[in-house]
Amino acid sequence: MECNNNDHHQLSNPYAIELNNVTIRLSNKDILKSITLAIEQGGIFALLGPSGCGKTTLIRTLVGRLHPINNHDGTRGKISILGKDPHAYGQLVGFMPQEMALHFANTIDEELYFYGRLANMPSEKIQQRCQFLMNLLELSHKRKLIFKLSGGQQRRVSFAIALLHEPRLLILEKNSCCLALRSCSRPSTGRSLYALLIKDIIKFQRNPFMLIIQFLVPILQITLFCLCVGRKLTNIPMGFISRETIRSSSTSGLIFDKIDKNVLNLIEYKSINEAQHLFHLGYLFGIIDIGENFTREIFDKVQSCSFSDVHKYNDSQMIIYLDETNRQMVYTIAEEFIRVFKIIDIDFNLGLFASTSSNHSLFKLGQFQNHLPKIEYTFTHFMIPGIILSVIFFFNVALTALSIVTEQSDGTQERVWITGVKSNQIILSQLIIHSLILIIQIVIVLFTSLFIFEIPLRGSLLYPSLLCIIQGFCGMTFGLVISTIFTTEINAHQVTMSIFYPVLLLSGIVWPLEGQPIWMRTISAWLPMTKAIDAMRGTLLKGWCIQHLVVQQAFMVSFLWSMVFLILTLLVFNCRRL
């Protein structure tokens, strides 16, 4: 009964398009001013005019991409499509833009099926219409990829899309015709989402190199980090000059015997000047200078407990010159000598360092009892939790930052909008397809870190996995914000690259937050990745679980940032659609 009423209403109204006193403003300039226009049904109407006169603006207004504003007298113009709708959308309109607006990775039938699903057409009907249009427009084989078609053939595919669902109103760039065939409705949410997901899956199938990058580059990044960063330094060239004869019984000989030759590559020189020359040229990272009476004086010093008289024992000190511009090298050399002195201290029971059998040692390193295996922690262990999350976060930022921009630049996004698809359906389809990629990325990254490079896992694997998932989702939503704000791929790419280094420094990945100024530390603590990195360190290295406050804060902060990014994406996307 409703259809009959609608049909009766439309038959009683002879106009396909009516505009009454419509004004459209762009960038504070009236492009269309108080336009009144009536186009009858069943005819062909050509809109002619010079470039820049507002033809495209009028077409965008008819399909709902632009909306009238108030006129100078305070009234607002009205638009009527077939006597009922304020703008043409969905099955009501077949739209062929001036651009190709095609998904070039699809075949002809895949592209037609995509828009057929958006129009709520059953598969049998889509197949019938595809065959009819292929014959009518003399298109080549339906399995042929669109990017392999000639320009004229691509134009025909675009025209076939406009005709596919038998629209009541056909709008062509610079041409317009009106038909009265069927009713208007928006595509259903499930049908639209299914069509969008199929389109994205086909896109990845046609471009496997993109998937290879997403899956193999994280492995390469984790591998290079574990091999190149935080490992113990080895084969450090150190020169030494000894004015006393080095024997196994001498103190210098005892020290040199205990030094790990894999760490320090000791090279003997005859004079300090020769060693100093090579040191300044950069061939040596340090020089050890041993006095002529080093062994005798150091024993006299210990026996007489005379450590303050520097003039009496000139040769009792081993002088070490180091290249202090390389602090990590300095720490490694100092750590090696401390290790050697600890061994000598234990061997001779001097009690200057830690001693398990005596309470008279100078200091003792305590350790709380736990049932976890003892691990010699390195800088790699400090950084790897942050590296894992940063790889997950930024790969998803980069992937989603270009997803919508690409479709906006080639015109396909505009065409999808005009079919009646809602913004939240487009965003949801992006989140679903990229979430599948995210899960595979997380499995690859955690397997590489934990099982190949044996990064310690002191607790359950559940919490590191969940932290990776929520950080990946946060990066995904942040990438969508970039993709909706910027309209060109180069701008989106530049923004993505520009935020990488600041986040790397501010989130405590490279250096602890305690090294930042107090005011900056307060800001950095609540960035999207900071709490998650602390929680990741705790879950991997300390066995933390959800009962720890830092872990709870990590999930809460990541979730809140994700929701902020998602809401901002929808707001910007809807504003751009309007």
- Assigned domain for 160 exists: no
- For residues 108 and 6, give the distance between their C-alpha atoms in angstroms, rounded to a whole number: 35
Residue at 198 is within a domain: no
Same domain flag for 472 and 570: yes
Residues 341 and 396 in one domain: no
Domain assignment present for residue 463? The answer is yes
Same domain, 320 and 459: no
Check which CATH number belongs to the domain holding 301 and give it: 3.40.190
**Residue 1 domain-assigned (yes or no):** yes
pLDDT per position as a tens digit, 484-523: 888 788 888 888 888 988 988 899 998 888 888 999 998 9
Per-residue burial over 305-343, b if 16 or more Cβ lie within 10 Å, else e, is eeeeeeeebebbebebbbbeeeeebbebbeebbeebeee
Tokens of 401: 């930052």
Could you identify the residue written with the tokens 């003792």? 364
Write down which residue in 39, 57, 88 finishes a domain.
88
**pLDDT value at residue 373:** 65
Residue 207 in domain? no
CATH of the domain at 5: 3.40.50.300
**Residue 230: what pLDDT?**
82
Q: Where a domain ends, among 62, 88, 114?
A: 88
Cα three-residue angle 68-72-76, rounded to 5 degrees: 35
Amino acid, single-letter form, for residue 315: D
Whether residues 316 and 396 share a domain: the answer is no
Name the domain count of the chain.
Answer: 3
- Among candidates 138, 133, 97, 136, which has minimal Cα distance to 116? 133
**212 assigned to some structural domain:** no
Q: Is residue 168 part of a domain?
A: no
- 390 with 526, same domain: the answer is yes
pLDDT of 343-398, one tens digit each? Answer: 877 766 655 555 444 454 444 555 556 666 677 788 888 899 999 999 999 999 98
- Does residue 571 belong to any structural domain of this protein? yes
Specify whether 448 is located in the same domain as 557.
yes
Helix intervals (H) in 259-402: 272-281, 294-304, 327-347, 379-401
pTM value is 0.73
Residue 506: both structure tokens together = 């501010």
Question: What does each C-alpha distance from 189 to 165, 417, 428 come to in angstroms?
Answer: 18, 13, 11
- Among 88, 118, 138, the domain boundary falls at 88
Q: How many residues belong to the chain?
A: 578
| One domain for residues 338 and 452 | no
Contacts of 481 (CB under 8 A, 6+ apart): 565, 568, 569, 572
**DSSP-assigned letters across all residues of 469-504:** HHHHHHHHHHHHHHHHH--SHHHHHHHHHHHHHHHH
Q: What is the pLDDT of residues 320-331, one digit of tens each?
A: 899 888 888 888
Residues 319 and 395 in one domain: no
Strands annotated E in 82-168: 93-96
83 backbone dihedrals φ, ψ, rounded to 5°: 75, 5
Q: How much is the pLDDT for 327?
A: 84
The CA distance from 133 to 125, in Å, is 12
Parts of the chain with a pLDDT under 50: 1-11, 175-184, 355-358, 360-363
Residue 459 lies in domain: 385-403+439-577
Among 135, 137, 157, 138, CA closest to 146: 157
